[in-house]
Amino acid sequence: MKHIYQAGTDSNAPVLVLFHGTGGTERDLLPLAGMISPGSSVLSVRGNVLENGMPRFFRRLAEGIFDEEDLIFRTKELHEFLDQAAAEYAFDRDNLVAIGYSNGANIAGSLLFHYPGALKGAALHHPMVPRRGALLPDLTGLPVFIGAGKNDPICSPQETEELSGLLEQAGASVTVHWESFGHQLTSSEVNAAAEWFKQAF
């Protein structure tokens, strides 16, 4: 997968794995990594799917309606890519924390839903429920930050509650941070994620 890897100064800090939103690239979230954990190595990935020329991590049938078959296929592809990247760049595969925004948060959520041990934690900015009806793996104690907007037309507050409930039922330790805005990623939400990261890792 197309990506950027930047080795950090602190080899014990979690490696931050960045997933952009629809229409973004692997460059978009690099500034967030510096704000959340400046010493961390960073692996920033570009989604392999194109929707009218806009990169995404999996196909959708319409706004908010995911192509479940492609979601499952792309989640596996990404999980395997993370294994390969860990070998290529010699980082600890068990020390990855995802930071995802929108579609990128949804693929990070899908990694949590499908692959136990894929991530050590995740900051999900404006995520949705990636898939319904699947049995989640045991996520006991896994720190998850959810940044949400009370007026987000794409990820409704109800869906945020549903996602945090599903993750909590699987044992994850979920922190939900509410903004009064919409789908945008604000600096105060990133600051809250940075605070969460400091406490969690």
Q: Where do contacts with ligand MLT occur on this chain (CB under 6 A)? A: 21-22, 60, 63-64, 102-103, 106, 128, 154
135 and 54 Cβ atoms separated by less than 8 Å: no
Shortest separation between residue 183's beta carbon and ligand MLT, angstroms: 8
64 and 153 Cβ atoms separated by less than 8 Å: no
Distance CA 32, CA 50 (A): 24
Helix, strand, coil fractions of the chain, as percent rounded to 5: 35, 25, 40
Catalytic residue positions? 102, 152, 183
59 and 51 Cβ atoms separated by less than 8 Å: yes
Shortest separation between residue 58's beta carbon and ligand MLT, angstroms: 8
C-beta closer to ligand MLT: residue 41 or 160:
160
C-beta closer to ligand MLT: residue 37 or 110:
110
Shortest separation between residue 60's beta carbon and ligand MLT, angstroms: 5
C-beta closer to ligand MLT: residue 85 or 105:
105
